[in-house]
Amino acid sequence: MIVKPICRADAYRADGRIIGGFFQLSNNGSLVYSRNGVFQLDKNGYITNAEGLQLMGYAANSSSIVNMAQIVPLTDFFDRFDL
């Protein structure tokens, strides 16, 4: 799977592209897959799609070390952009 960088981001929404794969989302603990790359930050700081499903992925710690042992709901996404 190849994930392209975010195409557009603002304070409330981000659009991403994915080539040859799917975005992994959590639907109340069950994993579902989507090619739709339109996401926003919810009131709890999670990246969600229009249906409120959380975007899942490998999280990095403050030292940019990625934990590939498990996937987690992704948060804090917009803090990485200088908007």
Tens digits of residue pLDDT in 30-45: 999 998 888 888 888 8
- The DSSP secondary structure of 13-44, one letter per residue, reads EEEEEEESS-EEEEETTEEEEE---EEEE-TT
Per-residue pLDDT in tens (0 to 9) along the chain, 83 residues: 444 444 455 555 566 666 667 899 999 999 999 988 888 888 888 989 999 999 999 888 878 888 899 999 988 654 554 44
pLDDT of residue 2: 41
pTM above threshold 0.75: no
CA distance 83 to 79: 9
Q: With the C-alpha atoms ordered 4, 40, 42, 76, is the resulting torsion angle positive or negative?
A: positive
From 71, 76, 74, select the one nearest 53 (Cα to Cα): 74
Give the span between the Cα atoms of 83 and 75, in whole angstroms. 17
